């Protein structure tokens, strides 16, 4: 059975991405990150998702991006924005170089365990303006990774980045997760990090709109509903 590393934040998209990898028959190895994010409650969701799929190993890496700051998700002095799901600028919830860093870890992990694929739930439709979710970024990172790994330069074994949600709307992601019976009840999308989702931050609004358009009840609890 082929192995695949899956970047698992504990959010909606990464969980559906993991469900896709599982449905394709891969032996999945999730990797999550404690980067001292404001909403680190999502890691509890990631652990539950990993347990749901009975994975052999769930790797959690600690990398303190709080020290870099520059994002509402890593700096408590920056307010989490509320309610704008149609913005076309880069919001303050963007964490500088986050996917660049996370994919680098995932590539290294894939090389060590002999995985040929890395799955990441980036999305270019409802993507909140993040530059590291664009297909152009993935394409260029793939090229760099082919040159940066022993697997790619000596072994002739390129580790392929898979982005199954890249061109899906949030509605379509919810529908896909429902069809694959992904454990969406364990997911955390809220940027504010409370026990219950706030229901008003950009991420909550985008998630709620996706569920509403899909005609599916969101299984998580909200403070402001």
List the CATH number of the domain containing 210: 3.40.50.620
pLDDT of residue 84: 65
pLDDT of residue 127: 53
Q: pTM to 2 decimals?
A: 0.93
What's the rounded Cα separation, in Å, for the pair 197 and 204?
7
Helices then strands, counting H and E runs in the chain, come out as 7, 5
Is position 221 within any domain?
A: no
SS3 166: coil
pLDDT of residue 87: 62
46-91: per-residue pLDDT in tens? 999 999 999 999 999 999 888 888 888 888 888 887 766 666 677 7
Q: What is the number of structural domains in the chain?
A: 1
Is position 224 within any domain?
A: no
Domain range for 186: 3-214
pLDDT of residue 80: 84
Is position 14 within any domain?
A: yes
Please give the angle made by the CA atoms of 164, 168 and 171, to the nearest 5 degrees: 125
Q: Which residues contact 10 (CB under 8 A, 6 or more apart)?
A: 32, 42, 43, 44, 45, 46, 47, 49, 186, 187, 188
Mean pLDDT of the chain: 90
Is position 128 within any domain?
A: yes
Q: How many CB atoms lie within 10 A of CB 199?
A: 20
Is position 220 within any domain?
A: no
Is position 196 within any domain?
A: yes
pLDDT of residue 88: 65
Q: Which segments of 53-97 does DSSP mark as H helices, in order?
A: none
Is position 52 within any domain?
A: yes
Is position 56 within any domain?
A: yes
Ranges of residues in the chain with a pLDDT under 50 are: none
């Amino acid at each position: 059975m082929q192995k695949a590393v899956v970047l698992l934040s504990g959010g909606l998209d990464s969980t559906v991405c993991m469900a896709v990898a599982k449905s394709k028959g891969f032996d999945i190895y999730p990797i999550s990150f404690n980067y001292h994010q404001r909403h680190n409650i999502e890691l509890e969701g990631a652990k539950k998702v990993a347990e749901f799929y009975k994975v052999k190993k769930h790797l959690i890496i600690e990398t303190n991006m709080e020290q870099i700051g520059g994002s509402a998700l890593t700096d408590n002095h920056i307010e989490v924005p509320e309610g704008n799901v149609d913005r076309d600028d880069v919001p303050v919830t963007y964490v500088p170089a986050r996917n660049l860093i996370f994919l680098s870890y995932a590539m290294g992990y894939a090389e060590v365990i002999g995985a040929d694929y890395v799955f990441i739930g980036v999305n270019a439709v409802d993507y909140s303006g993040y530059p590291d979710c664009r297909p152009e970024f993935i394409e260029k990172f793939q090229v760099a990774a082919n040159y940066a790994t022993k697997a790619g330069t000596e072994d002739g074994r390129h580790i392929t980045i898979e982005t199954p949600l890249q061109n899906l709307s949030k509605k379509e992601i919810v529908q896909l997760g429902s069809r694959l019976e992904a454990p969406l009840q364990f997911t955390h999308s809220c940027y504010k990090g409370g026990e219950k989702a706030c229901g008003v931050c950009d991420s909550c609004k985008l998630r709620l709109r996706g569920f509403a358009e899909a005609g599916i009840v969101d299984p998580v609890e909200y403070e402001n509903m």
